[in-house]
A = this chain, B = another copy of it.
Amino acid sequence: MRDAATAENRPYHHGDLRRALVEAARRILESEGPSALSLRAVAREAGVSPAAPYHHFKDKGELLDAVAHVGWDMLGDSMRAARDQATDVRHAMTEIGVAYVQFAQQHPALYRVMYDASRDKVALPEGMKSEDSAYCLVQDAFRLAAGPDVPEMDVELATIAAWCAGHGLAEMSAFHQFDALKQAVGGEENFLRAVLSHMGMFPTPHPTGAG
């Protein structure tokens, strides 16, 4: 384990600086948030000079892409776990949605980087829509829940609708304006499930508990 060193006992050449930089960036994200994530800070955290990252990434954006990639992998794992834990095919959708939003809540800074990195790109980021990724996981779940009679276009549209709804809820649930309501419905997770139940594509046994 030589990632975080003190910059004195390490040789001139780092050995695995690329990975170390990505991990340093994640460390900064977790501890200080996205606004503190400068290229110089990452280099500092990794114990190298400000120019060193340029031998592994074209610019700051490429480093953020690498960080985002890790995030998409983590998110995919969370969603897969939630899907596999669900008993019902239809309820799997809801569990996946809850896992998605909870990931965003648990790693807000990383989640932000994941979307910021992909915003000004022509294609969606690698980890998001490439095969065997988070997006396809949702699409497969919808295909399975819909059955063979539903046309593929509706599956795709439903997937997009669910993804948009999940992303919107993920961003919105960070706002503190809803704190009172969260408490009223009995905590964060209940709030998520209640909102998702109003979204049409996330079936739940008892919508609100009040109806």
Binding site for B on A (CB under 8 A): 115, 118-119, 121-124, 129, 151, 153-154, 156-158, 160-169, 171-172, 174-178, 181, 184-185, 194-201, 207-208, 210-211
Contacts and interface: CB of A to CB of B under 8 A. Distances in A.
Counting chain B CB atoms within 10 Å of each CB, which of A119, A163, A164, A169 scores highest?
A164
A154 B206 CA distance: 13
B165 A164 contact: yes
Contact of A201 (B200, B207, B210): B200
A195 B164 contact: yes
A167 B119 CA distance: 14
18 contacts: A115-B171, A121-B176, A124-B175, A151-B208, A151-B210, A153-B181, A153-B185, A154-B208, A158-B198, A161-B165, A162-B198, A163-B172, A164-B168, A164-B199, A165-B168, A167-B172, A168-B169, A198-B200
Contacts of A154: 198, 207-208, 210-211
Contact of A208 (B153, B160, B201, B207): B153
A175 B210 contact: no
A196 B153 CA distance: 14
What number of copies of this chain does the assembly contain? 2
A35 B176 CA distance: 27
Given A198-B157, A199-B200, A211 B124 contact: no
A124 B200 contact: no
A123 B185 CA distance: 20
Nearest to A200: B200
